[in-house]
Amino acid sequence: SHGNKEVFSCRGILLAVQWFWDRGHKDITVFVPSWRKEQPRPDVLIRDQYILRDLEKKKILVFTPSRRVGGKRVVCYDDRFIVKLAHESDGIVVSNDTYRDLQNERPEWKKFIEERLLMYSFVNDKY
């Protein structure tokens, strides 16, 4: 949301990570589809892409798998990665997604998502 739905803002990810880091939370994992590493296209703008690589080197960011089949991009369902890790590590999920479909997938995930989902907003660069 940091890019106002006009551009994928890697700086927004960094601002969120920094907000939690500054409050003592060191076990932070960010999931981003691996196609975000690719050269941006005019219809899929991305800003400050180097931030993703920096966070990956620091073992904070994990790229979820994607590949091309017949010229089309095939991506994994990264929401499942997010909820599964948070549930297994007794963490929280920071997202504005409600994960309604995953709430019905596993009974233990429903209660977890209801109680451990932290939604957020940006006001300019303030997380």
Domain that holds residue 38: 6-116
pLDDT at position 67 is 67
Q: For residue 124, is it within any domain? A: no
| Distance, CA of 76 to CA of 67 (rounded, Å) | 9
Give yes or no for residue 77 having a pLDDT over 80.
no
Residue 89: give its domain's CATH number.
3.40.50.11980
DSSP characters for 82-103? HHHHHHHTT--EE-S---HHHH
Contacts of 82 (CB under 8 A, 6+ apart): 31, 93, 95
Q: For residue 121, is it within any domain? A: no
pLDDT digits (tens, 9 = 90+) for 1-31: 898 888 899 999 999 999 999 999 999 999 9
| Distance, CA of 82 to CA of 113 (rounded, Å) | 11
pTM (2 decimals)?
Answer: 0.85
C-beta of residue 84 within 8 angstroms of C-beta of residue 60 = no
Q: Are strands 66-69 and 72-75 parallel, antiparallel or unpaired?
A: antiparallel
Domain count for the chain, please give it: 1
pLDDT digits (tens, 9 = 90+) for 92-117: 999 999 999 899 888 889 999 999 99
